[in-house]
Amino acid sequence: SQGDGRPFPIGFALGGSTSGTYAVVIRPDGSIIGPPEAVFPGLPVSEGVTAAHAGVADYRELRLAELPVRVLSTPVTRGAETYVVQVIGDRSSDVRTLDTLLLVLVAGGLLAVVLTQVGGAVYAERALVPIRESLRRQREFAADASHELRTPLTVVRGNLEQLGRNPGATVASLGEAV
């Protein structure tokens, strides 16, 4: 009631320019009940009104006056007349939040990939230190062993050549070479 015992006329129960949510009531003749600030280009949404007149609540996400909005149209029957209530919610802040979240996720994902690459390279370098040291020691050992074996192999080769030059000599005469 309005305080003096009279009931409120059909109209808004919510909405306004600061809430981002508007509600309009469409009479059976198509005229709109609602405050002037709620009436902007594109209202009422005719597809929603048509669906509501068919007895079905209709939900849509679309753009009105370049603003992303949600529109819920639902039928309300009073006697033999069917009114349509359209609730329009501004999605601009939701879209901005989702865009910011997407940016944060993409930037954070790229940063995580870069940090993973750098960290992986650092740890791989540390892990390779013992392997490189082992390979260095193996090469040194092979070089030292090769050098140490050259002298005895040279002596053996020389003695074999001397034996090859004297096939008819006795073991006694070639004793030192044998």
Which one has a higher pLDDT value, 31 or 2?
31
Q: What H or E segment, with its residue span, contains residue 70?
A: strand 67-78
pLDDT of residue 40: 59
In angstroms, rounded to a whole number, what is the distance separating the alpha carbons of residues 15 and 36? Answer: 12
Which residue in 23, 72, 61 sits closest to 32, CA to CA?
23
- The pTM of the whole model exceeds 0.85: no
122 compared with 13, residue with greater pLDDT: 122
Q: Is the pLDDT of residue 114 over 60?
A: yes
pLDDT for 177 = 62
